[in-house]
Amino acid sequence: MNAAYARLKDHNARLAALGEAAAVLHWDASAMMPRGGGAARGEQLAALAGTIHDLATAPWIADALAEAEAGGDWDAANLALMRRAHLRATALPTELVEASARANSACEKVWRDAKATSDFARVRPYLEEVLRLQRETAAALAAATGLSPYDALMEGYQRGVTAAEVEPVFAAYEAFLREALPRAEEIQAKRGPALPLAGPFPAAKQRELCRDLSLRIGLEADHSRLDESLHPFCGGTPTDVRITTFYSEDDLAKALMGVLHETGHALYERGLPAAWSRQPVGEAAGMAAHESQSLIVEMQASRSDAFLSFLGPKLRALFGGSEAAYATANLAKLWRHVERGFIRVDADELTYPAHVILRFRLERALIGGDLAIGDLPGAWAEGLKALLGIVPPDDARGCLQDIHWHDGAFGYFPSYTLGAMAAAQLMKAARAAEPGLDAALARGDMAPLLGWLRANVHAHGSRLGFQDLLRAATGKPLDPRDFQDHLTARYLDAA
């Protein structure tokens, strides 16, 4: 390590610390901040974003990057990621970064009320400003990186994955779903309806249950919080992880599975290599990689027969009800129920990718200038009808349901389904490596799974890209057939 690289490492640690401060402010805005603080918070986040950008693009950095030398795989990867980050940062003027942060914050606050009242017109001008700035950002990044504008945005969420690679994967899944969904519905109908769980489920008891389960599967109490927000998420920092959810006293699964999902994200953050903390190579490998970790916990492990056999008696002891309702087979019917629904976050794992495919196509059209914000509700309805055969009755259950675009996150959505596919592939490899994994899940013990993920995913940080991470863990790049095999076994087996 020469002096230039050492200076860059120190500088990146400072940038990361400021980024952590911004992350906590974002969490607070969603979970704790009073409504009246929104305007001031927008200015705070904009100022912080501008400060971070100024530091990241300081004139001396280009010379230091040219002079820097790093030996060893980790340092070499770290330096390469620094150069990539600098290229993207210097493509954007500080004024654009601050304006985007300010517009995103303003739009997200208005979106909350617009969603609650299904009033798209209320948020439309704010979303138009967000999109205008996102198009400007995409164009600047494209010019610097040689990517298309949309790919340049995608690159910010998952390095090394382009729309051209995603398109055939999504098209193949759409074809699979066209045949699999009616068949799954037919099999499900023959099996008969599930017994309902008798509520209500008091929020205080749900909160206790969710916290206990997140700790049981490996999250440390000293490094995490569980709070409430309109849209569940995992935020904070690797040593101060913030999980949020929302509780419905009529529906136990919403918060329960939501917290298990977010705990998967949190465990990834906690498992990142501490020796490379606050360095680019010490971060997660991208959002598709991150989604694989939340979905391997929620969908692959927590909704498995093995884990449900552990969970059923625990739930019955806490909430009461019949033994038959909490039996493994009945919980599987309830929580692996296939249904053509309007809400992405409530979708089963068979239909969920259709929601992502819809958003992928719409946001590409928005960034490319082929779709105007004013035409978004109609395009949404047409797209959902083509994919699932249903039309949302209002915009709250249509284009207003997600926070992402209203917070400036364009290019994020493909990560969800790429992550689901990767989760199935990783779970297959984990089961092969850990023969006792399902027996452990039946005891409520995720230690074998978590240990395998720690060694094969978390410990790599972002030293490896998405495809190379999968190759290292499973012996092959992303293979969507593993996901289809998982869905076939779970939903299309008529036995």
Please check whether the domain covering 164-491 is classified as CATH 1.10.1370.30: yes
Question: How far apart, in whole angstroms, are the C-alpha atoms of residue 382 and residue 138?
Answer: 26
Burial 1-37 (b: 16+ CB within 10 A, else e): eeebbeebbebbeebbeebbebeebbbebbbeeeeee
Give the integer Cα–Cα distance in Å for 264 and 219: 9
Query: Residue 232's pLDDT is what?
Result: 86
68 torsion bin: left (phi>0), alpha (psi -120 to 50), beta (else): beta
The set of long-range contacts for 386-394, using a CB threshold of 8 Å and a minimum separation of 24, is 387/174, 387/177, 387/354, 387/357, 387/358, 388/181, 388/340, 388/351, 388/354, 389/340, 390/340, 390/341, 390/342, 392/342, 393/342, 394/118
Can you give the pLDDT at residue 231? 77
pLDDT of residue 493: 87
- The tens-digit pLDDT sequence of the chain (495 residues) is 799 999 999 999 999 999 999 999 999 998 999 989 989 998 999 999 999 999 999 999 999 999 999 989 999 999 999 999 999 999 999 999 999 999 999 999 999 999 999 999 999 999 999 999 999 999 999 999 999 999 999 999 999 999 999 999 999 999 999 999 999 999 999 999 999 999 899 999 999 999 999 999 999 999 999 999 877 899 999 999 999 999 999 999 999 999 999 999 999 999 999 999 999 999 999 999 999 999 999 999 999 999 999 999 999 999 999 999 999 999 999 999 999 999 998 899 999 999 999 999 999 999 999 999 999 999 999 999 999 999 999 999 999 999 999 999 999 999 999 999 999 999 999 999 999 999 999 999 999 999 999 999 999 999 999 999 999 999 999 999 999 999 999 999 865
pTM of the model: 0.94
pLDDT at res. 495: 53
Q: Check 155, 262, 291, 298 and give the catalytic one.
A: 262
Q: What is the 3-state secondary structure of the chain?
A: CCHHHHHHHHHHHHHHHHHHHHHHHHHHHHHCCCHHHHHHHHHHHHHHHHHHHHHHCCHHHHHHHHHCCCCCHHHHHHHHHHHHHHHHHHCCCHHHHHHHHHHHHHHHHHHHHHHHHCCHHHHHHHHHHHHHHHHHHHHHHHHHHCCCHHHHHHHCCCCCCCHHHHHHHHHHHHHHHHHHHHHHHHHHHHHCCCCCCCCCCCHHHHHHHHHHHHHHCCCCHHHEEEEECCCCCEEEECCEEEEEECCECCEHHHHHHHHHHHHHHHHHHHHCCHHHCCCHHHCCCCHHHHHHHHHHHHHHHHCCHHHHHHHHHHHHHHHCCCCCCCCHHHHHHHHCCCCCCCCHHHCCCCCHHHHHHHHHHHHHHHHHCCCCHHHHHHHHHHHHHHHHCCCCCCHHHCCCCCCCHHHCCCCCCHHHHHHHHHHHHHHHHHHHHCCCHHHHHCCCCCHHHHHHHHHHCHHHCCCCCHHHHHHHHHCCCCCHHHHHHHHHHHHCCCC
- pLDDT at 217 (0 to 100): 95
pLDDT at 347: 95
User: Phi and psi at residue 353, in whole multiples of 5°?
Assistant: -60, -30
How is the chain split into domains, by residue range?
3-158, 164-491
CA-to-CA distance for 293 and 240, rounded, in angstroms? 18
The per-residue pLDDT for 494 is 61
Q: In what order do the strands lie in the sheet with 234-237?
A: 224-228, 240-245, 234-237
The per-residue pLDDT for 199 is 86
Neighbours of 198 (CB within 10 A): 11
Contact 295, 449 (CB under 8 A): no
Give the tokens for residue 284: 């997660």
Give catalytic status of residue 20 as yes or no: no
User: Facing residues of 225 across strands?
Assistant: 242
